[in-house]
A and B are shown apart, each in its own frame.
Chain A
């Protein structure tokens, strides 16, 4: 079984300030990790994914995330946020091998304050 915990349901941050959205996961096997963004009334858009290799993953829109196996975390960061980053962000995990379903966290709403 696998699970994802997003510790913050809402994160307010001022424009041009840095932000970190936290994600912890649980799985008995190796995993792939993902961050998605969802704008109002839209589906999910992939920001970045960790499959293997370098633990620092860079994605679209200036976002990056770092995989930490010992802490079972995959936190999302951006050094300077813009108003347009206001959205909901979902962390997701997929156990490797075979037919597998993706498990999503409950999401973090990022509100960028002008």
Chain B
């Protein structure tokens, strides 16, 4: 039973570029959440997708956007990259968006470096 899978593992971009990160949830899970983990920090909630809609959003600018597909997989898009966007981006999945099934099962993350 595959857990949460994320791609790519590592990514290097330059300032101003755009990036797309991908996530496949654990089998049986229908909710995907994205987190940004800067070096030496805890994960910060970006947003959550359920039934192909953004249900909750953290304090991140509109440059951060996402999508969820009918098969529950999800993408995180970041436009106009800044140096401060360098971080580990974690995807987590759960069965349903609320309550005790949270927080979730996590993938190993995508390490994004901005030059």
- Chain A residues within 8 Å of B, Cβ to Cβ: 4, 32, 34, 36, 41-46, 49, 51, 90, 92, 94, 96-107
Q: Is B84 an interface residue (CB 8 A)?
A: no
- Pair B56/A99 contact, Cβ less than 8 Å: yes
Q: A43-B90, A44-B43 in contact; A100/B107 too (CB < 8 A)? A: no
B98 and A32 within 8 A (CB): no
Residues A94 and B107 in contact in the complex (CB < 8 Å), given A99-B97, A104-B43, A107-B41: no
Which residue numbers of B lie inside 8 Å of A, CB to CB?
A: 4, 33, 35, 40-45, 48, 50, 55-56, 58, 90, 92, 97-100, 102-109
Contact A96 B45 (CB under 8 A): no
Q: Are B108 and A43 in contact (CB under 8 A)?
A: yes
If A96-B99, A100-B98, A101-B58 touch, whether A44 touches B45 (CB-CB below 8 Å) is no
* Beta-carbon contact of A102 and B106 below 8 Å: no
Interfacial chain B residues near A99, Cβ < 8 Å: 48, 50, 55-56, 97-98
Q: How far is the CA of A4 from the CA of B45 in the complex (A)?
A: 13
Which 5 pairs, one residue from A and one from B, show the smallest C-beta to C-beta distance?
A43-B106, A104-B42, A102-B103, A101-B45, A44-B106
